[in-house]
Chains A and B, each alone.
Chain A
Amino acid sequence: MATKNKSTIKPLRLGAGWKYAPAPESAAAAHIQDQYELFIDGKWQKPKKGTYLESINPANEKKLYRAAVATEQDVDKAVAAARKAFDKYWKKMPAKERGKYIFRIARLMQEQARELTVMETLDGGKPIRESRDFDIPLACQHFFYYAGWADKLEYAFPNRAAKPLGVAAQITPWNFPLLMAAWKIAPALATGNTVVLKPAETTSLTTLKLASIIQEADLPPGVVNILTGAGETGASLVRHPAINKIAFTGSTAVGKLIQQETADTAKKLTLELGGKAANIVFSDAPIDQAVEGVVNGIFFNQGHVCCAGSRLYVQESIAAVFIQKIKDRMATLLVGDPMDKNTDIGAINSAAQLEKINQYIRLGKKEGALHYESDARLPQKGFFCRPTLFTKVAQSSRLAQEEIFGPVLAILTFRTEEEVIEKANNTPYGLSAGVWTDKGSRIFNLSRRLKAGVVWANAYNLFDPASPFGGYKESGYGREGGWHGLHPYITF
């Protein structure tokens, strides 16, 4: 059942009444090759079996490039190259020199930030504003941060000498392609490991560009190897007997498979998986600020965020006003061409993901929750989804339990603090949470009692290389970022 926007204030209808003048970024800033090979041992190498996958721009469904599919033999070659690089160069290199290489990567990325920005948006569909102001600068910052750790590890672990593990196998997701590659590669290199990384098959472009930046930085061959491909490639990489470490970011289901698969090995495993974060708004919260936070919490990057604030718990006494304000704010969100600097919500990453989101929307309606979406006009081509919310969602509803990974907000209400803590924790996930209130002691009570790795108080979706990120429970284990982010890559 659909509900109408019953705002008392005159709603802004940006899609219908008047328009922003288009402000498109030029695609010409990105030099995209027709075809990309595998980056192994410092060289671009053709895949053994000679197969390639097409990647399209999800905003217009046009072909963008072809990337090689690495098979078992290619994985073998890359792991051997990484092992050789570990023994021959990386392990022996003085730590401060290692650090300088990583600083070099950070600087070269900054220099080519505009190209990386355009590539990220063309390949993944996220708004250019987010690529430009969030993904790319933060990825550069991550390398810069960890570069500095390389020659300071003796101060990091009291009474212990940290040693690298060896070859790290890393698998990244499609929602923040370059940023996730930075989260993986930077700490691994800083601690003296070598890397074989597989990006997601729908969004490999910026990681391939990063490979050429690493080549340009003149890192010793084999220290970083990039293998493109889909799930099969990832599985061969995880199974490879000569790797020492696996760092995976992706779905909880695949994370569990990896734990099963590696149960009889000594591979050190860290997992950054799904989430169903509670964003909790108390009646004393700064309301307009909270509305912004909730909207950003769920609609940032089309909701393709593992820590998205996808469950809103709003205190009953302010629920009506608060939900109306969210609807009013949703009416102003521009959905469309990700390359346009005005765009708030870009393209859904793939047809398959759009279908998954739509399934959940159908399910929510069927379960009896009240469906509401903005009346944003969607482009004819490409994969798009209007910002959507559901009210009257039951705690047991799949909308409140499962990760949708799209711009769909489930709204629930609560009366007391005790009640909302219990409801917020009532999920197998535990990645993040948001708390909106004017009362400091309440913030610290909730922060302590919410089973989540990151708690944002009067804020949401903030990230920084100095700040550890990672989950409790089925959101995975291990932390990325900060001092704690060194642990997954060392042994004593």
Chain B
Amino acid sequence: MKKTTNRISVLKTYKLYIGGQFPRTESGRYYAALDAKGNKIANLCLASRKDCRDAIVSARNASGSWGMRAAYNRGQILYRIAEMLESRKEQFIAELVWQGLSRSAAQRETEGAIDRLIYYAGWCDKYQAIFSTVNPVASNHYNFSVCEPMGVVVLFAPESPLLGLISVLAPCIAGGNTAVVLAHQAKALAAVSLAEVLNSSDVPAGVVNILTGNNEELMPWLAEHKDVNAILYTEKEPSILTALRKKATGNLKRVIHWPIQRWLDASAQSPYRITDLQEIKTTWHPIQQIAGSGSSY
């Protein structure tokens, strides 16, 4: 813990982020966040199954209104997150350095995350225009298919502590889903600090919920929960992927796997990452044949 010359520094308490609030874990458990040398730098909440449930309830409650918000407005909010992150760039770089990244890597990670938010902010009101269709059915009906959010999505955050996290979170909420994020266990400081950014970025309460804790313990609960619509996993651990798919079967969750290695690459971002978390809804509506329809007035 760093000391300045004349005063005792104030240590930050890293808490969970659920429903727009910063509660401690109901379990009272904690674990240590370590720096590159293995020294303890902070206490983190070791979230419990109950915290998972609370986060899912918050995400569900926020789901309807977030999904139906104007796409333009969602875009503005994503842009606002980027602005807030930019203004606190130095803090994030410092935290990433604490957790073992080099100064230049931490800077790339932070700037990459900001740019990625901008990228998806711009997609919010455009992906529908590309991936929805008007279908020329043979009967006399107006028929169209649109993308709709899946609902509540659990994001298992990748090891890349900020850029990786933003790269899964941004396409998820850009598409109108609400998220429960399980931060990467070993590098969770940036995730908790991101909660503070989200909280001051006009993101409605419950749209993003962030948990820290023992990933191995919490993953099965999150993958099994009946009110989760989809789970997203990005690591390449086959045994975990298999276990998640099996746990997800109970309510046929969509299990999305993005085995991304290099988060800075342009391939880590794409509108297809938005549509991976969308359902397709088709509506049929009759067209009345009015008198004179044969003429070309």
Contacts and interface: CB of A to CB of B under 8 A. Distances in A.
Contact of A158 (B130, B136, B141, B279): B130
A25 interface: no
Contacts of B133: 468, 482-484
Contacts of B243: 263
Contacts of B242: 263-264
Interface stretch (B110-118, B166-174, B249-257): B249-257
A448 B144 CA distance: 12
B76 interface: no
A473 B252 contact: yes
Contact of A482 (B139, B145, B248, B251): B145
Given A158-B130, A464-B138, A477 B252 contact: yes
Interface in B213-263: 229, 238, 242-243, 245-246, 248-252, 254
A259 B245 contact: yes
Interface in A25-63: none
Interface stretch (A296-304, A388-396, A403-411, A452-460): A452-460
A473 B251 contact: yes
A3 interface: no
Main secondary structure of the interface of B (DSSP, over half): mixed
B285 A443 contact: yes
Contacts of A160: 272
A206 interface: no
A484 B272 CA distance: 13
A260 B248 CA distance: 9
A462 B145 CA distance: 14
Interface string B264-295: 00000010100000011111111000000000
Interface in A310-343: none
A468 B249 contact: no
B68 interface: yes
B135 A263 contact: no
B254 A455 contact: no
B143 interface: yes
Contact of A263 (B246, B254, B284): B246
Interface string B60-92: 000010001000000000000000000000000
Contacts of A260: 246, 249
Nearest to A467: B135
A96 B285 CA distance: 34
A472 interface: yes
A447 B281 contact: yes
Contacts of B238: 264
B139 A462 contact: yes
A484 B132 CA distance: 9
B11 interface: no
A476 B252 contact: yes
B284 A484 contact: no
B137 interface: yes
A155 to B, nearest CB: 12
A428 B285 CA distance: 26
A130 interface: no
A466 interface: yes
A468 B249 CA distance: 24
A271 B138 CA distance: 26
Contacts of B272: 160, 492
Contact of B281 (A455, A474, A476): A455
Contacts of A483: 133
Given A259-B245, A467-B143, A474 B286 contact: no
Interface in A246-281: 252, 255-256, 259-260, 262-264, 271, 273
Contacts, number: 105
Given A468-B145, A474-B252, A453 B280 contact: yes
B281 to A, nearest CB: 6
Contact of B284 (A158, A449, A459): A459
A173 interface: no
Contacts of B249: 256, 259-260, 263
Contacts of A453: 279-282
Contacts of A264: 238, 242, 245
Contacts of B251: 428, 473-474
Interface in A53-112: none
A260 to B, nearest CB: 5
Interface string A381-401: 000000000000000000000
A207 interface: no
Interface string B88-110: 00000000000000000000000
A222 to B, nearest CB: 30
Contacts of B246: 259-260, 263
Contacts of A457: 283-286
Given A459-B285, A466-B135, A472 B143 contact: no
Contact of A256 (B64, B229, B252): B252
Contacts of B250: 256
A372 to B, nearest CB: 29
Given A141-B138, A477-B252, A467 B279 contact: no
A454 B252 contact: no
In this complex, which of A453, A457, A467, A484 has the most chain B Cβ atoms within 10 angstroms of its Cβ?
A: A467
Given A158-B130, A467-B135, A473-B251, A452 B143 contact: no
A484 B246 CA distance: 26
A104 B198 CA distance: 57
A124 interface: no
In this complex, which of B130, B143, B246 has the most chain A Cβ atoms within 10 angstroms of its Cβ?
A: B143
A221 interface: no
A477 B254 contact: yes
In the A-B complex, the 8 residue pairs with the closest CB atoms:
A263-B245, A464-B137, A264-B242, A466-B135, A457-B285, A467-B135, A263-B246, A259-B249
Given A462-B284, A466-B143, 20 more contacts: A141-B138, A256-B252, A259-B246, A447-B281, A447-B283, A453-B279, A454-B281, A454-B283, A454-B284, A458-B286, A459-B284, A464-B143, A466-B135, A467-B135, A467-B145, A467-B282, A473-B229, A482-B133, A484-B145, A492-B272
Interface of B: 64, 68, 130, 133, 135-139, 141, 143, 145, 148, 229, 238, 242-243, 245-246, 248-252, 254, 270, 272, 279-286
22 contacts: A159-B270, A252-B252, A256-B252, A259-B245, A259-B248, A260-B249, A263-B243, A448-B148, A452-B281, A453-B281, A454-B282, A454-B283, A456-B283, A458-B286, A459-B284, A464-B139, A466-B137, A468-B280, A468-B282, A476-B252, A477-B254, A484-B280
